[in-house]
Chains A and B, each alone.
Chain A
Amino acid sequence: MNQAVQVPESADTFVTPDGRTVGPVMMDIRNIVLRFGGVTAIKDVSFNIMKGEVRAIIGPNGAGKSSMINVINGFYHPQEGEIWFNGSKRPSMKPYEVAEQGIARTFQNIALFHGMSTLDNIMTGRQLKMKTGFFWQMLRYGKAIEEETEHRAVVEEIIDFLEIQHIRKAPVGSLPYGLRKRVELARALAMEPDLLLLDEPMAGMNVEEKEDMSRFIIDVNEQYGTTIALIEHDMGVVMDLADRVVVLDYGKLLADGTPEEVQSNQAVIDAYLGV
């Protein structure tokens, strides 16, 4: 049943059909096992994420996709296995330490700061980049002002980019779902991450919103060169967006390869049709 399709280990980089060069390996996930009590959510899964690619993680409900993102992000700590990031083995890390390494994420069920405005929400993404002491920030003096202006400029650029100028001052708790998803993406982008993890960025959206979001994801990848790993259910979207796809099922790796390879994989077809 397990006929995993693999990109040859030897290849350091590869060229995508649309002509982008992807690689070398940025994150290497090796033999991850994650258990919750007696339940094993992830069973010995290995795959890698290459620099500059859009990597999709797909699979039926309960396949362990979100768990995988949470492992990468540091919310869960796997019982076995290793994560190599930028060529070195990563020790067990807390989520904020992972963020410091340049990994940003969004959440399946949107985790924004509801009482704060869109602008403030996105500004929290600049948190790690702010260096002046709190004393000067309090007095709004000298370097602190300069720095604040700098960060505001970055944030405004992202706001333009994601076309959310009109809700800049609105408290995010009052925004409709599709826009909140976009604000969350904006906050993650404000971190200027090397690796961006998107947990179902298009869940619950209508066709038009999905198209918008797909376009943003492609633009982020192309303009900023951000490496993206995303979980998605809509196969059409995945086939359009992703350079390579990992398929999980019941916590196991089912297939790994280009969208075409994965699509024609018998094990994948069986899992999705429930055979």
Chain B
Amino acid sequence: MYDVFIDPFVQMYSLPDFFIQVLWEGFVSGVLYSLIALGFVLIFKASGVFNFAQGIMVVFAALSMVGLYELGVPGWLSVILALAIMYALAFGVERWIMRPLVGQEDIILFMATIGLTFMLIGGGQAIFGGEPKAMITSEIGLPSGDYVWEPGGGIVIFQKLDIAATIIAGLLIAGLAFFFSYTKIGRALRAVADDHQAAVSVGIGLNQIWVVVWFAAGIVALVTGIMWGAKSDVSFALQIVALKALPVLVLGGFTSIPGAIVGGLIIGIGEKLFEIYWGGLIGGGTESWFAFIIALVFLLFRPQGLFGDKIIERV
């Protein structure tokens, strides 16, 4: 009992600098979870499709960028070209996957995104090869090194890269939020998410909206890929990490952008704290399942998530 309920908090209190460090690490991985969840939310909001391919889109975007750089393209240009590739992908997905399947069951669209996943894995490996690549960071203007903060004799280290990642993610999220709440396309998008028939009858073209949405998800994927790749390497294994977005979505609600952010942070910080302070009691390695347990609890008590659409039942 003592080990579970008292000792961890004593530790937190006695080593505050270490506690802050853990919080920060959790926060940074939380930001990455938020980003990847955001990619899912965008597409889910607009078409009710759970885009299984979001994880591989992250890998694909990052690989395209690094691959172009290796071909001798300057860093800044490779970012722009990678965005162009994501646009082409969005256009292709709309033209050859979404459009022929319009009006089909959600599960069929979901299967189509699984198909897309395998196409991107195969295509990506054929073009870029299967081995991991190192992410370019300083070449595209990301800082390296760290800030050291020494509060009262302790020591906390902030990687500059992590700080940059947080700021960029923040800007991206703010941009998307403004885009969706204040623009005509944003309103159209929320309309499409709600009712296809009604949307087209007020003059909203579905095709254009889907391209916009998939492209937005592509941009998010590229940013996620850069940030994540900078922490490890860019490899196809990254797409598995994307599955962490699932508990984040359950927590935050599938249709809510703030939900994705808060959910991501809760999971990121929660799993770090649990692993460091409680993990030892049950042999460690808790980070791989902690998020899913939290999600399970949420499914029991609040199935729409923290910020999901209210479930209105009219009988």
Interface residues of A in 74-112 (CB under 8 A from B): 75, 94-96, 99-100, 104-105, 107, 111-112
Tell me if B179 and A138 are in contact (CB < 8 A): yes
> What string of 1s and 0s marks CB contacts (under 8 Å) between B175-205 and chain A?
1001100111111101101110111111111
Report A266 CB to chain B, min CB distance, Å.
37
Query: Can you list 13 A-B contacts with CB-CB less than 8 angstroms, sorted by A residue number?
Result: A94-B205, A95-B197, A96-B204, A96-B205, A107-B197, A112-B195, A113-B191, A115-B255, A127-B188, A127-B203, A134-B183, A134-B186, A138-B175
Chain B residue nearest in CB terms to A128: B203
Contact B184 A134 (CB under 8 A): yes
In the bound complex, residues from chain A placing their C-beta under 8 Å from that of B314 are: 173
Q: A94-B205, A104-B202 are in contact. Are A134 and B185 (CB under 8 A)?
A: yes
* Chain B interface mostly: helix
A186 to B309, CA, bound (A): 24
Among candidates A105, A114, A124, A139, residue contacting B188 with C-beta atoms closer than 8 Å: A124
Interface residues of A (CB under 8 A from B): 73, 75, 94-96, 99-100, 104-105, 107, 111-116, 120, 123-125, 127-128, 130, 134, 137-140, 171, 173-174, 187-188, 191
Given A107-B198, A127-B188: A138 touches B204 (CB 8 Å cut-off): no
Give the docked Cα–Cα distance between A132 and B194 (Å): 24
Total contacts A-B at CB 8 Å: 93
Contact with A along B57-86 (1 / 0, CB 8 A): 000000000000000000000000000000
Q: How far is the CB of A150 from chain B (nearest CB, A)?
A: 13
Among A100, A124, A127: residue with most chain B CB under 10 A: A124
Residue of A nearest to B198 (CB): A111
C-alpha spacing A114/B193, complex, angstroms:
10
Bound-state Cα–Cα, A134 to B216, Å: 14
Sort chain B's interface into a size bin: 20 to 34
- If A99-B201, A104-B202, A107-B197 touch, whether A124 touches B191 (CB-CB below 8 Å) is yes
Taking CB atoms, residues of chain A closer than 8 Å to B126 are none
What 3 pairs across the A-B complex have the smallest Cβ distances? Answer: A99-B203, A111-B198, A113-B194
Task: From B190, B195, B203, B255, give the contact of A96 (CB < 8 A).
Answer: B203
With A134-B183, A134-B184, A138-B182 given, is the CB distance from A104 to B191 under 8 Å? no
Complex CA–CA separation, A97 to B191 (angstroms): 17
- Give the CA-CA distance A113 to B200 in the complex, in Å: 12
Q: A115 to B202, Cβ gap below 8 A?
A: no
Which residues of chain A have C-beta atoms less than 8 A from B204's C-beta?
96, 124, 127
Interface pair B202/A127, CB less than 8 Å apart:
yes
Give the complex CA separation of A171 and B191 in angstroms.
13
Chain B residue at minimal CB-CB distance from A99: B203
Nearest Cβ on chain A to B188's Cβ, whole angstroms: 6
Asked if B190 contacts A115 (CB within 8 A), the reply is: yes
Is A173's CB under 8 angstroms from B185's CB?
A: no
How far, in Å, is B155 (CB) from chain A's closest CB?
A: 42
Q: A95 contacts which chain B residues (CB < 8 A)?
A: 197, 200-201
- Are the CB atoms of B200 and A137 closer together than 8 Å? no
Would you give the shortest CB distance from B105 to chain A, in whole angstroms? 19
Whether B1 sits at the interface, judged by CB under 8 Å, is: no
Asked if A113 and B195 sit within 8 Å, CB to CB, the answer is yes
State A236–B120 Cα separation when bound (angstroms).
61
Tell me which residues across on chain B come within 8 A of A137, comparing CB atoms.
182-184
A63 CA / B178 CA spacing, docked (Å): 47
Q: Which residues of A contact B148 (CB under 8 A)?
A: none
